[in-house]
Each structure stands twice: as structure tokens, then as C-alpha cells.
Structure 1
Amino acid sequence: MKKYFTLLLLAIFGFAAVSCNDRNDDVIVQDNDTYSVVLDINNVNFAYNADDGYFISRSFTKPLVSTDVVLIYRKGSSAPDGSPVWQMIPRTLYLTGGNELDYDFDFSKNDIMIYANGNYDISTTPQYLNNQTFRVVLVPASAGGKNANVDYNNYESVIKYFNIDDSKVTSL
């Protein structure tokens, strides 16, 4: 009987040791230095220079911290109810005749640059270069971990996930 009791005790101890770990997979990392912000660049025209091609440049009022990520959406059209339809960039527009126009961007902690270029002379399609509206969304990078359940291509999904009040948009 003592033998069985010792084996039972050993089995219980072994089960407890194996089933415990010091990891907590449900830990939510809180980013305390980033506040999700929405900024608009309204009705702007792309400028041109030989180094950058067609571009729009804006500076942030405060430098970003290293845990910030920039997402940029272009207002592509309006829905039947008049609300804007936002398209995430980078984006390629496929036009007639095999023409392709690309919107892209880069950012640093101090500024953003939005670029337009294509496989044709894009100055011949000024509707894609003039009176453009972009929405810049600043979000914390740490939220993009393995458990993030957000579709960054969908503006509404991003706004909902980061609990952003986009009625308080400011201009950049």
C-alpha cells in the first residue's frame, strides 16, 4: 500500500509540475506613450521635384515615439450616403490602357512623405494628383502583436480596434 501511495503522490506532483508555467499568454501589453490620433490632409495637390517625383510632405507637431506606427488612407470616393470611402496606401490604381498609378508613403519620427508615381506620365491624369484628401492614423505598434485581430486595410476596423473617436480629426 505504501508503494501505491508513494507512486500516487509522485504522479500528482509530476502532473502539477508539468501543467504549471511562468508564462501568461493572455498578458496585454499597455503602451502608455502613444495615443491613437487621426489627422487629415485635406484637398492638397502633389508637388513635383526631380529627386522625389510627385509628393506631399507634412511635419508632425510633436515627434513620434519609437512605438508609434503611421497608417495612411486616401479618400477614394464617397459612399451613397456621402460618407468617405478610405483606401489604405500603399495602393495601385489600375487605369485604362494598362496604366498603373501608385500611391506610397514613408515616415520618420518628425514627418511623412506621400508619393505618387506610375508607369506612364501621371501629369496627364491630374484628377489623381490634385485636390486629394488623406487620413493619417497614428497607432501604437505594440498592439500589433500576435493576438491583434484588426484588418489594417479597413479604416473602420482600425478605428474600432483602437477605440478612436474620428469625429475629432485635426488637420496636419
Structure 2
Amino acid sequence: MKKIALLLTAFIGISALQSCTIEEYYNEENYEGYSQVFELPNETLSTLEDAYTYSATWNFTTPIFDGDNVLVYRWQGNSWTLVPVSYNLGGSDMVKYDYDFTRYDVKVYFSANFPVAELSNAEYNDFVYRQTFRVVVVPGNFQQKMNFSDYNATISALGLENAPVKILQTKK
């Protein structure tokens, strides 16, 4: 009887330690044209995270795959700059952009090493008000080693030169 109880306990223990996994596969149907580029045009980073940080969040039109990566670029008047990026305002004052993402959305942060309420009107207009970002989804199986800081080279490597740029809506 003790052997049956021991075997039953071992079986239940082994069964309980098993975990469920969900595997995503890139196949012809869902991989075709999967690399994507989105634009976040003329957006104001208006959510006050804390005294030092503004942010804005955008929902993807469809969830991205778990293994995918996201790159964010900021338009600087004549070129796209890869985020994260920092700017020196003079003296010890610094501002920076950063981002994070999930399968469902992307969030861009603007932060300063001083309270953002102290930004001058010109600084606010240059860094917070009506900013344009591009979000590039890089498939998890993308094998090419490259420097992603060049937006045009990234788009070319992903085969997105002629792809439509989709507009994302700000998350409410």
C-alpha cells in the first residue's frame, strides 16, 4: 500500500511540475509581410508619469509575436533618430526619450533630470509637443546582424521600403 501511495504521490508531483507552453510559429500565412512600420504623427506626450516624466501609449492594431522586437525612431526635422536618445540642454540639464513595449502596445517616455514643469516654452515645443515617432516591428527570426540606428537601412533590410506606414491611435 505504501508503494502505491508513493507512486501516486510521485505521479501527481511530476504532473504538477509540468508547465503549459504556447508556441508561436511563423508560417507562410502569418509571416508574409509581418515586419511592420507604424507612425505616431504629431503626438504630444501628455501623460504625466511623475514630476520628471511625460509619456504616451499606443495600441498595436494586432498583437505582435512574443519573440518580436520593437524599435522606436523620433523625427528630428530631417532624419529619424533611434530611441533611446539623450539631449544636453546646457549646464547639467539633460532630457531623454526611452520606450517600452508589450505584445499589445508601445509606450514612449520623455524624461528630464529636473521637473518637466520647468521646461521653457521652446523646450516644451521642441521635445514634448507634436512629436512624430515611427515604430518598427522586427520579427524574432530576423537573422541579419546590423546597426539599427540607420532608419533607412533598417527599413531596407526588413523589406519595408514600399510598405504602407500604418497610423497607430493613442491609447486612452
TM over 0.5: yes
Q: How far 1:139 moved relative to its partner?
A: 1.4
Q: Is the Cα contact below 8 Å between 2:49 and 2:55 reproduced in 1?
A: no
Give secondary structure in 1 for the equivalent of 2:155.
helix
* Equivalent residue, structure 2, for 1:154: 150
Q: CA RMSD in A?
A: 2.0
Task: Return closer, same or farther for 1:112/1:97 CA change in 2, 3 Å cut-off.
Answer: same
CA deviation vs aligned residue, 1:57-107 (integer Å, no higher than 9, x gap)? 1111111111321110000122xxxxxx00000111112222111100000
* Equivalent residue, structure 2, for 1:70: 70
Q: Is the Cα contact below 8 Å between 2:53 and 2:116 reproduced in 1?
A: no
* Equivalent residue, structure 2, for 1:126: 124
* Equivalent residue, structure 1, for 2:45: 46
What count of residue pairs does the alignment treat as equivalent?
Answer: 134
CA deviation vs aligned residue, 1:92-142 (integer Å, no higher than 9, x gap)? 111222211110000001111100111123341212100100000011122
Tell me the distance in 1 between the aligned counterparts of 2:140 and 2:88: 31
* Equivalent residue, structure 2, for 1:101: 95
* Equivalent residue, structure 2, for 1:55: 55
Give identity over the alignment, percent: 28
Residue type of the partner of 1:122? V
In our comparison, the structure showing a higher alpha carbon Rg is 1
Residues 7-26 of structure 1: pairs in structure 2 closer than 5 A: none
Q: Note the residue ranges of structure 2 that are not aligned, 5 or more in a row.
A: 1-24
Tell me the distance in 2 between the aligned counterparts of 1:87 and 1:38: 15
Q: Note the residue ranges of structure 1 that are not aligned, 5 or more in a row.
A: 1-29, 79-84
List 4+ stretches of structure 1 deviating above 4 A.
none
Tell me the distance in 1 between the aligned counterparts of 2:100 and 2:124: 22
Residues 128-147 of structure 1: pairs in structure 2 closer than 5 A: 128-143=127-142, 145=143
- Per the normalisation by structure 1, the TM-score is 0.71
Tell me the distance in 2 between the aligned counterparts of 1:122 and 1:50: 10
Tell me the distance in 2 between the aligned counterparts of 1:63 and 1:55: 21
